[in-house]
Structure 1
Amino acid sequence: MPVPAPRLNLRAVRVLVSTLSLLAAALLAGCGSIAYHLPGHTAQQHTAPLQLASGQHLLALETPARLPAPGGFWLGLASENPAIVSVESRDSARGASAVSLVAHRPGETVVHYVNRFTVPRDPAALAALPASELRALSLGAFPVTVR
């Protein structure tokens, strides 16, 4: 005699689906979006020139916690001349980051928006990257003048 298949409790399934939907919505609502802090910079416009004073430390952008994804995207900045303006990234354990520009000495350079997954993570290796390679990886760039 065959054993009857177990019956699906539709009420339990509905409760489970509702709970998972609410949990997913709550998690996604907490993710937020990228915050651009440089004057004139937004997700659509990020080429406005910037002037800094020597020694100035300026928060440029904040990225929310990132979810693991194959080939992912993690917005950051990279300077063509870190001796004039360097980039500091403070990353949290959950993947959020705060990216700042630090003006070291008078001069002019170009800073690029980059996908941090496509450039070296080590600051020394990133500083050694030829400007032509950095330009090839650039998602947008802006001139920075330090006075």
Structure 2
Amino acid sequence: MRKEIIIFSLVILIVSMSGCLDTQMTQINQLSEIINEHIKSGNNYFNQAATSCNKYQYEAALAQCNNATAQFELAKTSTQEALIYSKNLQDQVYIIYMQITLGEVDAKINATEQLKMAIPLFQTNQTNSANKYVDKANQFMTTSLEFQKQKEELVKQNPTKFKS
């Protein structure tokens, strides 16, 4: 009778653990979709802000930068949450992917902040100073693209871990 109780307990434990793992994986997959949507929206707002700057529409550019920052911050929060689930799973591929994503999002946040700092300078015709911030924004966006390439390479190397 005691053996049966131990076996039954082990079976329950294994089943519950596998359910936890599936739940963790489900959370990572759901968060990945959310992260990608926020990054995409942030990119769109950032690009609109740059276009507005080029058209001397500085108020619109500032509003679009604020929207971009909000989207990138939401992506960052979701990525941090997904990183926790990845660590709970102890899956190095997902951990690395989420860490790279955090780097990408941070670079985008920094680029947006640099553009926001340039806008008031453009408004007061301090073009040389403004262009220095724009150059930094471009550097951060280039860095974000490098992170994006790292993610794509990780996905390519681990096709069974990622949805197409």
Structure with more of its chain in strand, by fraction: 1
- Tell whether the structures are fold-level matches, with TM greater than 0.5: no
After TM superposition, the score normalised by the length of structure 1 is 0.41
Say which structure, 1 or 2, has more relative contact order (CA 8 Å, 6+ apart).
1
After TM superposition, the score normalised by the length of structure 2 is 0.38
